[in-house]
A and B are shown apart, each in its own frame.
Chain A
Amino acid sequence: MSKKAYSSIEDFEKSAAGLLERRRSTRDRPSIIVAGGTCGMARGAGNIAEAFRQQIARRKLARKVLFRETGCHGFCQAEPLVVIDPEGILYCGVGPDDVTEILDETVENKRIIDRLVFKNSHDGRSFPLEREVPFYRRQQRQILSQNRLVDPRSIEDYVAIGGYGALARALQRDPKHVIAEVKAAGLRGRGGAGFLTGKKWEFCRDATGGPKYVICNADEGDPGAYMDRSVLEGNPHSVLEGMLIGAYAMGAQEGVVYIRMEYPLAIQNVGIALEQARELGFIGRNVLGTGFDFDLSITRGAGAFVCGEETALIASVEGRRGMPRTRPPYPAHSGLWGQPTNINNVETWANVPIIIRHGADRYAEVGTQTSKGTKIFSLVGKINNTGLVEIPMGTTLREIVEDIGGGIPDGKEFKAVQTGGPSGGCIPAGHLDLHVDYEGLAEAGSMMGSGGMIVMDENTCMVDVAHYFLSFTQGESCGKCTPCRIGTRQMAQILARIKRGEGTPEDLSKLEELAETIKETSLCGLGHTAPNPVLTTLRYFRDEYEAHIYEKRCPALSCVDLIFFEITYECVGCGICIPACTTGAITGEHKRVHAIDQEKCLRCGTCFDVCPPKVAAVVKGSPAKVAVS
């Protein structure tokens, strides 16, 4: 079904006004929203959406009830999620069997099904309305709130919430004014370093040569961060609109969306969005009849973390090995095919239409002195409410972890939160009142990065975390420069040694020395920041390193070489752990206390997990009784 491209801005605005009006006039109609996205799908949202579609068809409700399958809403912990508008009722953990009841009770009879309502894990209070759920209530969801309003595969949905209106507005202004607006808004890059976006655009605009390019960086390499995926899957047009505005402002005629291959649904939805935008005349020659030409394509990543670095990304778009090069020249002067290029992160681009729509002043009302607007974090790890959290810059870590995240599961003790991914660091409990913005995180020795926030509890070993990140960067180092290639390997080896209980007192100073050298002399950001996880853990958790070195003890009871499992006299001899043990290390007669052969034990903890909680006869300890063979 081919549609006609809008021939002019007026043509578009007329049609948009119609779609907006239609939305408005159906606002009071019951509507059912199922949150899809990769995470929802992984938990069965696809079956639920299908069940709703079938029942709506069977009951001939299509005229009375609106149905929408959207991208991720961010409350991943409670998925699969169903929202019933206009009331805004939120149901969590919905199964296909609940669909009939939701239609009968809630949609037809306006009754709430208590079983599906969100309840606090600590005090059992229930929250039937989405806007009252503590996880959402403290957020300010400028970007993510759009996800629930649109079917990502429908450009009409996006236009019906005002989408592409910012583009139309920008196209009627002088490109320089558009840049001035983005600059005045104070928007800083959401992909890592936090450079002022408007300023970067200005460099590219003023650069000589051409054609110029714009690139969207959707490589999202930080393991544990997935906000870019959520925005691309759930609202791809917002990113395309941002890129179009940027391209117009900078005078670029071509663009690339670089998406990591691990995100098939994002690649698919952006592909659909591109086609639709082209069909309606937002992309292509003579955009909305204004004489502005712009074409856009997708490049798939091929599984290399370093390709998130802008010069490496450009190399791989050109079909070369994804190796960074020294800067300057910056991409603004010499980027893709040696031409002026502007590269921004997904979330940065998604902020642009909001700035143009509401104006720089209103945008800059949110946030701190130096960091404007909101930032999306992925709050994951040892936290009750896992999910995507969008908050004004300047919110404290405590609000994020305790109020929004709902604290640590199983009554465990909070230990640290890791931000900034492999380039960042671990922030301890003593800094929970830190205001989260670019400067605040940097002062604590960490960084904003792309917004991963991994919460760690008393059972997370900080030496292990440092080792994890150093092994990661070592594996991802492209090998071009020596400090990064060899230095990270040395650091990872020392950390592995400490974890095994073979560390020496000199190892700590060696780590610090290597860290300084790698930071100072590496070629790109990967190396410059690789030592950060080690430096921050040394700064805040030195005692844990020392326990590993001097006492051969892992205080978090996590490093397999330094711990033991043992069965106590609480054991009732039920035998459940015997077949569960892969190495056959457990022996014991029925109804007699069992025992673990320490020589055979791999410290996998399976016996600890399977022992019935009522009995809890398996205990962990450190240091180890014998070395793991």
Chain B
Amino acid sequence: MNQTQQVITRITSKYGKNRSALISVLQDVHAAYNYLPEGSLDIVSAQLAVPLSTVYGVATFFKAFSFAPRGRHVATLCTGTACHVRGASTLLVEAETRLGISPGETTADQRFTLETVNCLGCCAVGPLLVLDGKYHGQMTAQRIAGVLEGG
């Protein structure tokens, strides 16, 4: 058994091998690797006895799943309504320009992944940028570069 197989076996045995566990299993595999590595879907499909097409269908449906490795740092910009009316769209352009990538993408040097999220419930400090789980409120176009430098 290769290493990926071992990791996935550990996960599937936690949930019981039935199809209702599919999303939870994919979430845990994703958490273990920070993405869904090549071949992992085949293993999940075999272990849960769910057709590969179904596994693929589920994995592509939900935003939580990425098929490409993510960067060492994840910068998440809130584009919820409250942050939007406080200028999040300008910040997004700024972050895209600085990093040279669009949301969902990772820089070539694997340093940053840029993501957007719809409201983290911290609207009081919006617009909000989260870098590796740390919240940076009242974000401005000028401050973005400084915050990203910290990553």
Residues of A within 8 A of B (CB): 38-39, 41-43, 76-77, 79, 221-226, 229-230, 261-263, 299-305, 316-323, 378, 380-382, 386-387, 418, 421, 452, 454, 456, 460, 465, 468-469, 472, 478, 560, 580, 582, 602, 604-606, 609-610
Contacts and interface: CB of A to CB of B under 8 A. Distances in A.
Given A76-B123, A321-B61, A454-B85, 19 more contacts: A39-B122, A42-B128, A77-B124, A223-B81, A261-B64, A263-B121, A302-B64, A302-B65, A303-B64, A304-B62, A319-B21, A319-B58, A321-B58, A381-B123, A382-B86, A386-B123, A469-B81, A478-B61, A610-B142
Nearest to A605: B90
A604 B123 contact: no
Contact of A302 (B63, B80, B90, B135): B63
Contact of B80 (A79, A223, A229): A223
Contacts of B82: 223-224, 380-381, 386, 454
A605 B141 contact: yes
Interface of B: 19-24, 26-27, 50, 54, 57-58, 61-65, 79-82, 84-87, 90, 93-94, 97-98, 117-126, 128, 135, 137, 140-142
Contact of A42 (B79, B80, B125): B125
A387 B124 contact: yes
Contact of B122 (A76, A303, A582, A605): A76
Contacts of B65: 302
A42 B137 contact: yes
Contacts of B21: 319
B118 A79 contact: no
B117 A262 contact: yes
Contact of A226 (B23, B27, B119, B141): B119
A411 B95 CA distance: 30
B8 to A, nearest CB: 16
A305 B118 contact: yes
Given A302-B62, A465-B85, A468-B81, A223 B119 contact: yes
Contact of B119 (A77, A225, A322): A225
A229 B81 contact: no
Nearest to B79: A223
B80 A580 contact: no
Contacts of B57: 321
Contacts, number: 145
Contacts of B120: 38, 226, 262
Given A224-B123, A318-B20, A321-B58, A42 B135 contact: yes
B47 to A, nearest CB: 13
Given A303-B63, A602-B93, A604-B141, A381 B86 contact: yes
A605 B58 CA distance: 41
Contacts of A320: 22, 54, 58
Given A76-B124, A224-B80, A582-B97, A456 B22 contact: no
Nearest to A229: B121
B23 A319 contact: yes
Between B54, B57, B84, B121, the greatest number of chain A beta carbons within 10 A of the residue's beta carbon is seen for: B121
Nearest to B90: A604
Q: Output the residue of A76, A300, A318, A319 with the most chain B CB within 10 A.
A: A319
Given A43-B137, A316-B23, A472 B118 contact: yes
B122 A421 contact: no
Given A223-B118, A226-B121, A320-B58, A302 B97 contact: no
Considering residues A76, A262, A302, A460, which has the most beta carbons from chain B within 10 angstroms of its beta carbon? A302
Nearest to A422: B81
A262 B116 CA distance: 11
Contacts of A221: 118
Closest 10 A/B residue pairs (Cβ): A226-B121, A303-B63, A223-B80, A76-B124, A302-B62, A223-B118, A42-B135, A319-B22, A224-B81, A380-B123
Nearest to A227: B121
A77 B123 CA distance: 9
A387 to B, nearest CB: 7
Contacts of A319: 19-23, 50, 58
A619 B147 CA distance: 28
Contact of A38 (B22, B61, B121): B121
Nearest to B58: A321
A213 B54 CA distance: 25
A610 B143 CA distance: 11
Given A386-B124, A604-B94, A452 B142 contact: no
B126 A322 contact: no
Interface centre among B23, B119, B140 (most CB of A within 10 A): B119
Contacts of A300: 23-24, 27
A323 B60 CA distance: 13
B17 to A, nearest CB: 12
13 contacts: A38-B122, A224-B119, A262-B120, A263-B121, A300-B24, A302-B23, A302-B26, A319-B22, A322-B62, A382-B85, A382-B86, A386-B124, A604-B93
Contacts of A560: 90
B141 A230 contact: no
A229 B137 CA distance: 19
B133 to A, nearest CB: 9
Nearest to B48: A319
Nearest to B50: A319
Name, among A39, A43, A560, A606, the residue most crowded by chain B CB atoms within 10 Å (CB to CB): A39
Contacts of A43: 125, 135, 137
A139 B27 CA distance: 40
Contacts of B125: 39, 42-43, 76
A229 B118 CA distance: 14
A349 B93 CA distance: 41
Contacts of A39: 121-122, 124-125
Nearest to A459: B85
A41 B58 CA distance: 33
Nearest to A318: B20
A481 to B, nearest CB: 15
Contacts of A456: 85
A580 B119 CA distance: 28
Given A303-B63, A610-B142, A42 B123 contact: no
A317 B20 contact: yes
Contacts of A478: 61
Contacts of A386: 82, 123-124
A582 B124 contact: no
Contacts of A609: 140-142
Contacts of B50: 319
Given A261-B27, A319-B23, A303 B62 contact: yes
A299 B26 CA distance: 13
> Most A CB atoms within 10 A — which of B24, B57, B63, B117?
B63
A250 B85 CA distance: 43
